[in-house]
Structure 1
Amino acid sequence: MSSVDDLSGKKRAILIAAEKCFASQSYEGVSIRDIAHEAGVPIALIGYYFGAKNELYHAIFEYHSSYISERLAALRQARQHSDPATALSNIVNVYILPTLKLKDDEEGNYFSRMVMRGVIDQHEASERISKEFYDPMAREFMAALQEALPHASPESIHWSYQFALGALLHHVLDTRTERLSAGLCPAHQGDLAAPYLVNFIIAGIRSATSGNLA
C-alpha cells in the first residue's frame, strides 16, 4: 500500500511538516529530527510511516500526484484542441497558471517552493522525482510547442522550455519583488503576476524560435 493511501492525522502532519522544511532549506540540510520537531511527533514514527528521508520526500509527490496528473492532462488537451491562432497562448497558460494558483495557497506554496528548490539543488532524491513526475510534463510541453510553432527548430524548442521554466522557478522562489516594487507587486498574489509572466514567456518563446538570433 502506498504511504499516502490513508493520509490522516499524524501522517498528514508529518507530510505537511516535511514540505515546510524542504521548502525552507536544502534537502541535505533537512534532518528527520527537524521534520519530527515541526510535526510534533517522535522521530521513530516518521520511519514507521514513511521509511528513510528519501522515501518521505517521494511520498510528498505521491500525495500531490493528482495535481501533477491534472497539469499533464491539461497540456495534452491544449495540444490537441487549441486553435492554431491561440495555441501558444493556451499551452503557456495551462503550463504556468496551475503553479501560480498553487503558490497562493499556504500549503500549496510550501509544495511549489519545495519543487523549485529541488530543481535548483539537483540532489539524488529530486532526480528521481524529476524523472518520474516532471520529465513527462516537460516532454509534453515541448511537443506542444513544436506543434504550435512548426517552423521552430528542435533546439529552439528545448531552450524555450528551459528558459520558461527558469522564469517560473525564479518567480516562485523570489521574495524580493514586494520590496523592490515598493509594495506595488505583492509576492503572494500570483493572480496579479500571472498575465505579466505569461506574456513575458510567450514573447520570449516567439523570439527564441523565430530564427532571428543576434
Structure 2
Amino acid sequence: MATRRAATESSDGAGGGARRGTERVRKLLLAAEKVFAAEGYHGATMRQLADAAGVGVSLLVYHFGTKERLYYEIFAHRQYINERRHERLRAVTDLDRPEALDEIVAAFIDPVLALHDDPDDVWFARLVLREAADPSSQQRRVLSDLFDPMAREFIDALRRVLPGKPEGFHEWAYLFSVGVLTQSSFDTRIDSLATTPLKSADKRAFLHAYITAALRHG
C-alpha cells in the first residue's frame, strides 16, 4: 500500500519543483503551515510534515527538496497578504492629511487581521509570530526576501507622516508595531483576562488605536 501511494504521488508530481498554483502543492503547504506554527521551524520534522498532509516524505522531498525550502514556500505562497498591504499603503497618496497615519496603520494591520477570521488562515498569522521572534530567522531569508521590502516602504511612509522624530524612531516604531500585531494572533490569553467576551471587531479597533497612539505620541 505504501509503495503504491508513493508511486501515485511521484507520478502526480512529475516535472519536479514546487508549483504553488497546483491544488496538491497548496494542500501540502497549508498542512505544513500548521505543523510549523505549532512546533516551530526547528521542532518540526519532515515526517511530521508529511503525516500532517497524509503523504509520504518522498513527495515533500520531490516537490520542495528540503525542509528549509518547504518553509520558505509557505511564506511565498502567502505573499498575497503583503501585496495587499502594499496596495493599501500606496493608496495613501497625500501624507499631509491628518488621516494619513490612521490609513497607514490600517494598511499595516487589516490584511493580517483578516486571517484571524478563518480557523485555517490564523495558523499563518501564528507562524509569522514564530518567525519574527526566532533569533535564527535571519538564516532562512524569509524576512529579508518577503517582509523587509514592505517594511522599508512602511518605514518611509512613517518618516514622512511623522517628521521630527529622533534618529531610529521610525525603524523601532515599525518593529514594535510588528510585535503588537503578531501577538494578536492568539486569543486564548485575552479570553482568560477579559470579563466579557470580546468580538473580533473590538480587537481591530483596540489594536488600531493602540498602534496609532504609540506612533503619534511616542
Aligned runs of 1:45-124 on 2, under 5 Å? 45-78=59-92, 80-82=93-95, 84-124=97-137
Partner Cα distance (2:96, 2:17) in 1 = 40
Query: What SS does the corresponding residue of 1:26 show, helix, strand or coil?
Result: helix
1:128-139 aligned at under 5 Å gives the runs 128-139=141-152
Deviation beyond 3 Å, 4+ runs, structure 1: 124-127
Instruction: Say whether the 8 Å CA contact 1:119–1:126 is kept in structure 2.
Output: no
CA offset at residue 72 of structure 1?
1.6
User: How has the CA–CA distance of structure 1 residues 92 and 2 changed in structure 2, closer, same or farther, with 3 Å as cutoff?
Assistant: farther
Deviation for aligned residue 1:183 = 4.4
In structure 1, C-alpha distance between the alignment counterparts of 2:137 and 2:110, rounded to whole Å: 28
Instruction: Tell me the amino acid that sits aligned with residue 84 of structure 1.
Output: R
Per the TM alignment, residue 73 of structure 1 is displaced from its structure 2 partner at its CA by: 2.3
Q: Name the structure 2 match of 1:178.
A: 191
* Percentage of identical aligned residues: 33
Aligned residue number for residue 202 of structure 1: 212
Match of 1:21 in 2: 35
**Contact conserved, 2:96 with 2:161, CA < 8 A, in 1?**
no
1:161 aligns with 2:174: yes
Higher-Rg structure is: 2
Partner amino acid, structure 1, of 2:116:
K
Number of aligned residue pairs: 203
What is the CA-CA distance between 1:33 and the residue it aligns to?
0.3
User: What displacement does 1:201 show?
Assistant: 0.7
TM-score (normalizing by structure 2): 0.85
The CA deviation at 1:172 is 1.6
RMSD after superposition: 1.9
Q: Which runs of 5+ in 1 are unaligned?
A: 209-214
Compute the displacement of 1:126 (Å): 6.7
Q: Which has the higher contact order (CA 8 A, sep 6+)?
A: 1
Which deviations, in whole Å up to 9, do the C-alpha atoms of 1:7-35 show, x marking residues without a partner?
Answer: 213x2221111000011121100001001
Query: In 1, are the aligned partners of 2:125 and 2:185 still within 8 Å (CA)?
Result: yes
Contact 2:31 2:53 in 1 (8 A): yes
1:7 partnered with 2:17: no
Unaligned runs of 5+ in 2: 1-15
